[in-house]
Amino acid sequence: MNSKTESRAPVSQQALRVQQPFDSSQIGAMVTIEINEKKMQVPLGTTILEACAQNQVQIPTLCHHKDLCTAGVCRICVVEVDSMKTLQAACAFPITQQIKIKTSTEKVRKARRHIIDLLLSEHYGECYTCVRNKNCELRSLASEYGVDGFTFGHPEKRKHDIDKSSFSVMRDMDKCVLCRRCVRTCIDLQEVGVLEAVGRGDQTHITTFMGKPLSEVICINCGQCVNRCPTGALYTNDPSDDIWRAIDDKKKHVVIQTAPSPRAAICEEFGMAAGTSLTGELNTALRRIGFDRVFDTNFAADLTIMEEGTELLNRLKSVVVDKDTSVKLPQFTSCSPGWVKFIEHFYPEYLDHLSTAKSPQQMFGAVTKTFYAQEYNINPEDIVTVAVMPCSAKKFECNRPEMDSSGFKDVDYGLTTRELAKMIKEGGIFLPEMPKSGFDDPFGEASGAGLIFGATGGVMEAALRTAYELVTGREVPFEKLRIEACRGFEGIKQASVKLKNCVPDYTFLEGVDLKFIVAHGTANARQVMEMLKAGELNDVHFIEIMACPGGCLGGGGQPIPTSPEIRKKRAEAIYAEDESMTIRKSHENPRIKYIYEKFLTDGPCGHKSHKLLHTHYTKRGNFIV
């Protein structure tokens, strides 16, 4: 795929380009309009939907999503515009002249009711048994618009089989309302290109290349489509029944690790506003529903920093000192399984750039079934490791055949935030009311560095905190260790840190400007890769890439809905928690020091850690057989 600046989505699905004779923002061109007989001024080019939202007029939407370009296909948002014969879709109509808008006339209400009726007439299944029960946009619309019966019938038979082939994402196309959010997510937002509308007329449906199962195409399992699906047509592969079975099995020792992003977002599943971390409450809840140990993934994140940071320093040394051309720079992070599969599919020739360090989830599984089992004298065969992740791709990752370095399946189950919330509710617990408690030893202590892995730029920031100090012997020169260049939601961030007065081991780095890039979302990853291909990134040393927009906190397993505002709140929660920690750097975590003293005795990137904590990748390519 060529590098390009423009969006590749069909023009009909792109944000509207309104010809403006001048730059309205510069001179502040305003248009006077009337919404429901109330006069107001809006900037030229505002859509009717935006204008209404700014003026507390509710317009129902279905195909519209804040992260995605305009589609205007569901027609639920139609309104009356005085000069037009037909109703206009509020989400797609840019205001360029003085118009009078009516949002709730008889015609409009009838049209909306009809549209919901029509969608229901093609929507197979019952709400009771749906994963999106109580969190379904179609269901909410039906109740808001007083739909009290199936005016145009209700399907009695399935048209499509559920695609359960993927470890991560399940597709039940009989619940699809063809809003095409998933298509715009997959093609436009993530630029992966797995899902598209296929067929025409009443045969139109969303599917993959040649209608193949999801596991056979180039899906990276990021689950962003799941996050944006308004109904239960897309959902993740839920292992909670298996986990309950393991909990109920007295022989099994079930341990759970929780990642920072679910902790910062699970509150949303319990009706709270976004942006409150419920870490302590979650620990209590998990113990109450029967997990034997509750560990902190951040410990493994710290471990990742040690391994990945050391790997970077080793690579630098090989390149700078040994002039070894087989060693590749820049080094890419490998914590995001969506990104790993993305590069395996689309840029397999660059796999040498990918850090061999496993993701925190997998490192955790590997040390749990070895070090922990050994220390606490538990048969690793009886250990069941569960990972609570914000991510659907983690389900695929833990099922990779190479992830068995402990001699067993390192991580047995990947559980998303949503699925965990369901388990907690099933366990009869209202999470926000739980008393707080801490994590269990030996992986109960973690640094703030591990915590900020959840936000885009977090891995970079954590790595810099450690690497800079290892190389120079001093703390990174930023107030409160906030490396602002890594933070924020800009698509691709680029910055550098000068290394001066290095400690003796690292004098070869003296004066080096350590350049790094942070990108999130695979569309941005693609851009970075194309820059790399074009030779523009030869002087860059380290690149962090997260597959999901916003990083893990915007992952495909996080609570629905998602929007830029919600992701911002989650990031704030994560950064606030980091600053409340006493240990803020991975290498200062005493548990990390302990594991390297006791178990991984030959140090980071040593023989033993190579066996347990590092992995290899598959050149998958993007040819679909």
Partner 1 sequence: METMQIEKTSRKGIVLFSEYVAGSAIRKAVKIGREEVLFELRDSKLKGRGGAGFPTSTKWMITAAASAPKKYIVCNADEGEPGTFKDRVLMMEHPEIVFDGMVIAGYTIGAKTGILYLRGEYYYMLEFLENHLSGMREKNLLGKNIIAKEGFDFDIQIRLGSGAYVCGEETALIESLEGHRGEPRNRPPYPVNTGFMGCPTVVNNVETLASVPHIIMKSGKWFSEYGTDKSTGSKLFSVSGDCENPGVYELPWGMTITEVLDIVGAKNTKAVQVGGASGICLSHAQFNRKLSYEDASTGGSIIVFNESRDILHILQNFMEFFVEESCGQCTPCRIGNVKLLEGVKKLRNGNYTFAEIRNLRELGQTMQVASKCGLGQSSPNAFLSILDNFSAEVFQYTSSDKHNGVNNE
Partner 2 sequence: MLIYERNSLVDEIVDLTVEYGKERSALLPILQTLQLRHKCISDFAQQEVARQLSIHPVEVYSVISFYTFLHPESQGRNIVRLCQTISCDLAGKCYLVKAIERELGIKFGQTTKDKRIKLEFTNCLGMCDQGPAMVINERVFTKVTPERAVAILNEVK
Residues that bind partner 1 (CB under 8 A): 10-12, 16-19, 70, 72-76, 78, 85-87, 89, 92-94, 96, 107, 110-111, 114-115, 117-119, 121-122, 151-153, 177-178, 197, 199-204
375 assigned to active site: no
552 assigned to active site: yes
Task: Mark residues 139-178: x for contact with partner 2 by CB under 8 A, - for none.
Answer: ----------------------------------------
Beta bridge partners of 498: 513
Binder of partner 2 out of 29, 53, 162, 197 (CB under 8 A): 197
Segment 204-223, which members bind partner 2 (CB under 8 A)? 208-210, 217
What gap in Å lies between CA 518 and CA 495, rounded to an integer?
9
Number of residues lying near partner 2 (CB under 8 A) = 20
- Shortest Cβ distance from residue 92 to partner 1 (Å)? 4
- Shortest Cβ distance from residue 549 to partner 2 (Å)? 19
Closest CA to 531 of 250, 330, 373: 330
Nearer to partner 2, 27 or 210 (CB): 210
- Shortest Cβ distance from residue 154 to partner 1 (Å)? 12
Burial profile 588-597: b = 16 or more Cβ within 10 angstroms, e = fewer: bbebbeebbe
Segment contacting partner 2 (CB under 8 A): 194-202, 365-373, 475-483, 562-570?
194-202
The DSSP letter of residue 497 is E
- Shortest Cβ distance from residue 214 to partner 1 (Å)? 22
Task: Mark residues 39-78: x for contact with partner 2 by CB under 8 A, - for none.
Answer: ----------------------------------------
Beta bridge partners of 338: none
Segment contacting partner 2 (CB under 8 A): 127-135, 203-211, 234-242, 320-328?
203-211
What gap in Å lies between CA 336 and CA 333, rounded to an integer?
8
- Shortest Cβ distance from residue 18 to partner 2 (Å)? 23
Cα–Cα distances in angstroms (integers) from residue 620 to residues 210, 391, 532, 614, in the given order: 19, 21, 20, 19
Segment 452-491, which members bind partner 2 (CB under 8 A)? none
Full 3-state SS string of 538-605: CCCCEEEEECCCCCHHHCCCCCCCCCHHHHHHHHHHHHHHHHCCCCCCHHHCHHHHHHHHHCCCCCCC
What gap in Å lies between CA 95 and CA 526, rounded to an integer?
34
What gap in Å lies between CA 511 and CA 280, rounded to an integer?
43
**Catalytic hit among 335, 391, 548, 605:** 335
281 assigned to active site: no
Among partner 2, partner 1, none, residue 152 binds (CB under 5-8 Å by kind): partner 1
Among partner 1, partner 2, none, residue 217 binds (CB under 5-8 Å by kind): partner 2
**Catalytic hit among 311, 445, 461, 469:** 311
- Shortest Cβ distance from residue 220 to partner 2 (Å)? 13
Among partner 1, partner 2, none, residue 624 binds (CB under 5-8 Å by kind): partner 2
Nearer to partner 1, 200 or 251 (CB): 200
495 is a contact residue toward partner 2 (CB under 8 A) = no
Nearer to partner 2, 29 or 198 (CB): 198
- Contact partners, residue 177, CB within 8 Å, separation at least 6: 62, 74, 119, 122, 123, 138, 230, 231, 233
What gap in Å lies between CA 572 and CA 582, rounded to an integer?
18
395 assigned to active site: no
176 assigned to active site: no
Segment contacting partner 2 (CB under 8 A): 133-141, 148-156, 185-193, 282-290?
185-193
- Contact partners, residue 122, CB within 8 Å, separation at least 6: 155, 177
6 is a contact residue toward partner 2 (CB under 8 A) = no
- Shortest Cβ distance from residue 204 to partner 1 (Å)? 3
Closest CA to 542 of 479, 586, 497, 503: 497
**In sequence order, what E strands does 445-570 have?**
492-498, 513-520, 542-546
- Shortest Cβ distance from residue 89 to partner 2 (Å)? 22
Nearer to partner 2, 438 or 621 (CB): 621
CA Rg value for the chain: 25
- ∠ CA 106-107-113, rounded to 5°: 85
Q: Hunting for tokens 């397993």 — which residue is that?
A: 557
What gap in Å lies between CA 464 and CA 601, rounded to an integer?
24
Among partner 2, partner 1, none, residue 106 binds (CB under 5-8 Å by kind): none
Q: Hunting for tokens 């509750």 — which residue is that?
A: 294
5 is a contact residue toward partner 2 (CB under 8 A) = no
What gap in Å lies between CA 498 and CA 416, rounded to an integer?
39
Beta bridge partners of 32: 41
What gap in Å lies between CA 578 and CA 4, rounded to an integer?
37
What gap in Å lies between CA 345 and CA 161, rounded to an integer?
27
195 is a contact residue toward partner 2 (CB under 8 A) = yes
Nearer to partner 2, 44 or 217 (CB): 217
- Shortest Cβ distance from residue 253 to partner 2 (Å)? 44
Among partner 1, partner 2, none, residue 264 binds (CB under 5-8 Å by kind): none
The pair of three-digit structure tokens given for residue 389, joined into one six-digit string? 């992740």
**Catalytic hit among 397, 461, 469, 544:** 397
**Catalytic hit among 261, 277, 336, 355:** 355
Closest CA to 100 of 48, 55, 30: 48
What gap in Å lies between CA 341 and CA 346, rounded to an integer?
8
623 is a contact residue toward partner 2 (CB under 8 A) = yes
CA 82 to chain centre: 42
Among partner 1, partner 2, none, residue 285 binds (CB under 5-8 Å by kind): none
**Catalytic hit among 182, 186, 267, 552:** 552
Cβ 93 vs Cβ 48: under 8 Å: yes
What gap in Å lies between CA 341 and CA 344, rounded to an integer?
5
394 assigned to active site: yes
Q: Which three-class secondary structure state does DSSP give residue 515?
A: strand
- Shortest Cβ distance from residue 114 to partner 1 (Å)? 4
198 is a contact residue toward partner 2 (CB under 8 A) = yes
- Shortest Cβ distance from residue 206 to partner 2 (Å)? 10
The DSSP letter of residue 436 is P
Segment contacting partner 2 (CB under 8 A): 90-98, 187-195, 362-370, 388-396?
187-195
Residues of the shown chain interacting with partner 2 in the complex, contacts defined by CB under 8 A: 1-2, 8, 187, 192-200, 208-210, 217, 622-624
What residues are annotated to the active site?
A: 308, 311, 335, 355, 394, 397, 402, 552
